[in-house]
Structure 1
Amino acid sequence: MKQVMTRMERTYSLQRRYINDNASVSSLKNEWPFLFNDQCMLQHYALLVEKKDAKANFLENLEVRGKELFRTLEDPAKQRSLKVAVIHKLLEINIKCVNDRENIKSNALVDLISCYFKEPISDLYHCQPQDCLVSDLCKDAPPQPFIVVIGTSIYNASKFHVYIESQLHYSTTTLAEALAYQFCSFYVLNIMYPSKCLATYEFIQRYFAGINPEGTRSSMSRKRAAVHPKVLGLVRLLSG
């Protein structure tokens, strides 16, 4: 695998040229099959965003900054400015996490973020039961990078699969690892964020991945739009 990664690093510019020519995911997979290997995908992403330890930083920020986000939104002084739905979501998460607070609570992080922005979590992931047929795992999944959670809910999940255009590309036992691969896929493959979940993805990009361009990646247009005002609002709340 080391030789493969070395070769993929040396041909990085060729891969970017192919991707930037609006190549489809299927043609890209035929031309550069190793790109979809998790190590190669993350290596490509690190080169693209010029962050050597991109994955490690992303995972660390999910843990550290995720806890900061929970602490801030659970602060009674901050809750005065929160919507009722967000407070209810915090209560639901805390009830579910009584027996295994930290591990399960970290899995609920994205749920909380999407609730704050009033965006559907169904555009980031959906749950499938343990006995679900393989052919049904990606049923109704959108074409963009998408997580299929194996379990009746995010709180009792046993495995996480990342699908792109209804094809399985990565599997892991942690949501954090699945989010890392999913997020990197958006950047590496030049895929725009879905409009229904734009604020959630942009917040993940800015707060956890540490990527802060002047605009955002919108599926409504391939041009950069202004920074999402709700994202700026939450970042200010967390830094206040």
Structure 2
Amino acid sequence: MRKHDKNPTRSQCLTVSRKIVSQYPKSFADMLGDKQVGGGYESVLSQLKVRIEHLNRTNTLSHHRIQRSDTGTTRKRSSTDSYGCTRWQPDLPPRETYDSLEVKRQKMEEMHLHEGISGAERGDVCKLMEETYWLQRHMINATPSPTIADIKTKWPYLFTQRHIYGHFEQLTDKKVLRCLELSIQECGQIIIKFFKSKPTNDDIRSILSRGENDVDAMVIQLLLAHFKEKLDGVFLQADEFATPSDVQHSLNLPESPRLIFLGQSLSNQRWMLSLEGQVVCEGAQPNFITGLAALFASFYNFNLQYQEEAACTLEFVQRRFVDINPERGSKAKKGKVTSKKTGQVVQKKNATVSPPVSSLLRKLADFEWNFV
């Protein structure tokens, strides 16, 4: 490939990867058990791009990934930051400069001052958000990492439901809301029937006995219960008439992302998203799946790790519902964690796929085969 082009584009590598996997699926296709992951070519594509970037170490791509700290020592960004992303640090768009994109950013900042958050739906704002994607990533990927408050000051529209989804799509090539809707519609009932046939603990029996009508909410609660993860590890609840200020004063919001539902249930309720202990987004559509999509996208948009309290559930959502299955790395926390079995602090083993997640995926695949 490099005899024809020293730095092939991702789309060119994608074409080659598809042909490789099509011709040699048993050797190169991505599989989880007997199930092909996504198009089956993501791993080959990743390896091609990594190899090309390694051979082109003097190009701009490597400069984006290696920066110098104030002390002059070289510091690399964590692989967790770019995990699952296809355009984590893109090249500067043609005919654009940092200054020209900064002018566009300031224009949106001015719009926000006059129109507030409602301006996010304007067609010209949507166009400007797409055009300034490079500048958004430039700030988010900076070393040291900016705070969420700093990013929100510069990019207020990035914290609206529409543009959380839009940024995630540019970053990963995935329509997060559509992926979740279709995947849970496709396999939600199978997951519920699986746990009805094989309830793995009392929490699962309790959830099933409530007979909740919202399949989306029930599926996520069952996953949390199966992995022995608490509901408040990812969801919080507040008074149905609470404002963002009320929520921040009444709840002890953690640093890691939380989806806050305003009301007694998780279904058809207003929701808010919190990051770094502050409410950053109010949902425009009051239902469970739109909130879950915004929560999940935030981990990728802002280079965040999955919190230990819900890491397995979030990884399951990533792999089974959103279809992000990188060959290496993980969004889960590394190092020492608290064991769910003993409650003691233990050294977490590095694994591309969490063993509990891998086990459940395999069991569901077997059950689905028998169910069909």
Question: Where on the TM-score scale, by shorter chain, does this alignment land: which range?
Answer: 0.7 to 0.9
| Aligned equivalent of 2:294 | 181
Shift of 1:20: 0.9
Shift of 1:132: 5.2
| Aligned equivalent of 1:49 | 172
Letter in 2 for 1:161: M
Q: Does 1:145 find its partner at 2:257?
A: yes
Q: Does 1:160 find its partner at 2:276?
A: no
Pairing 1:11-30 to 2, within 5 Å after superposition: 11-21=132-142, 22-30=145-153
Change (3 A) 1:27 1:131: closer
Structure 1: stretches of 5+ with no match in the other structure: none
Q: Does 1:73 find its partner at 2:73?
A: no
Q: Does 1:228 find its partner at 2:354?
A: yes
User: Matched residues in 2 for 1:201 and 1:54: separation?
Assistant: 13
Supply the RMSD in Å over aligned alpha carbons: 2.2
Change (3 A) 1:31 1:168: closer
| Aligned equivalent of 1:58 | 180
Per-residue CA shift, 1:37-95, capped at 9, x if unaligned?
211111110111123x34212222133222221122223xxx1xx5233xx52x43343
User: Matched residues in 2 for 1:26 and 1:135: separation?
Assistant: 15
User: Matched residues in 1 for 2:196 and 2:246: separation?
Assistant: 38
Contact 1:123 1:196 in 2 (8 A): yes
Letter in 2 for 1:24: T
Instruction: Decide which of 228, 253, 264 is 1:118's aligned counterpart.
Output: 228
Partner SS, residue 92 of structure 1: helix
Per-residue CA shift, 1:76-119, capped at 9, x if unaligned?
xxx1xx5233xx52x4334322xxx532x432222111110011
TM-score (norm 1): 0.84
| Aligned equivalent of 1:33 | 156
Letter in 1 for 2:169: A
- Rg larger for: 2
Provide the identity percentage.
25
Per-residue CA shift, 1:117-175, capped at 9, x if unaligned?
011221101222335575442411212221112223436x6322222231241223111
User: Matched residues in 2 for 1:130 and 1:55: separation?
Assistant: 24
TM-score (norm 2): 0.56
Pairing 1:120-139 to 2, within 5 Å after superposition: 120-130=230-240, 135-138=245-248, 139=251
Range with bigger deviation, 130-139 or 177-186: 130-139
Tell me which protein shows more helix as a share of its residues: 1
